[in-house]
A and B are shown apart, each in its own frame.
Chain A
Amino acid sequence: EVQLVESGGGLVQPGGSLRLSCEGSGFTFSSYWMSWVRQAPGKGLEWVAHINQDGRQKYYVDSVQGRFTISRDNAQNSLYLQMNSLRAEDTAVYFCASKWVDAPGTDYWGQGTLVIVSS
């Protein structure tokens, strides 16, 4: 069974940092691009970042560029999102995902982890 399990969410003050993790199992993690997608409370979906199979290609939405860093450890089947200089507008559920854009076959999503940025 394929699983993506996020962790690391929580309450953080504006300007603070948080590191999200996503552990994959049941599929060949190292073969696919991995992404973070977020959803603010009551709002729509927003693509945040993604990273290619060997970690050399990374792309970010403009609003997080320079503050967030995506990385992966294929030996640990894990994806990360280091979030610095957090703002209230970063408050959202963060989903990790794989094979969810243009790869054939079933898309894989985690259950999401909630990040709340508030004083």
Chain B
Amino acid sequence: DIQMTQSPSSLSASVGDRVTITCRASQGIRNDLGWYQQKPGKAPKRLIYAASTLQSGVPSRFSGSGSGTEFILTISSLQPEDFATYYCLQYNSHPYTFGQGTKLEIK
């Protein structure tokens, strides 16, 4: 199985900050990676797929990059509604696997 190592596990930041979250795959997954946002008590919401394709309707302050084994989610200027938990997902091979999650909290 492909292991996804996500870092950091938690992050404290302020409105307007630029933040980055990293996911590393235990083997190459091309660009078969998505990023998801989840708020407490809610279903996840996809932000990015194919490593860098922004889901329609998602603000352009979110961006994704990377290929192979290292991937980055960047939020260019944090907004109050961005405080949530973020997960990466690899779908290169079964079983699909998520990273452990990054909880983004208000400083």
Contacts and interface: CB of A to CB of B under 8 A. Distances in A.
Interface of A: 37, 44-47, 59-62, 95, 97, 100-102, 104-107, 109-112
Interface in B44-97: 44-46, 49-50, 53, 55-57, 87, 89, 91, 94-97
Nearest to A43: B101
Nearest to B6: A44
Contact of A44 (B49, B95, B96, B100): B100
Given A106-B56, A106-B57, A44 B34 contact: no
Nearest to B38: A45
A60 B94 CA distance: 8
Given A95-B43, A102-B50, A111-B43, A59 B34 contact: no
Interface string B21-42: 0000000000010101010000
A101 B55 contact: no
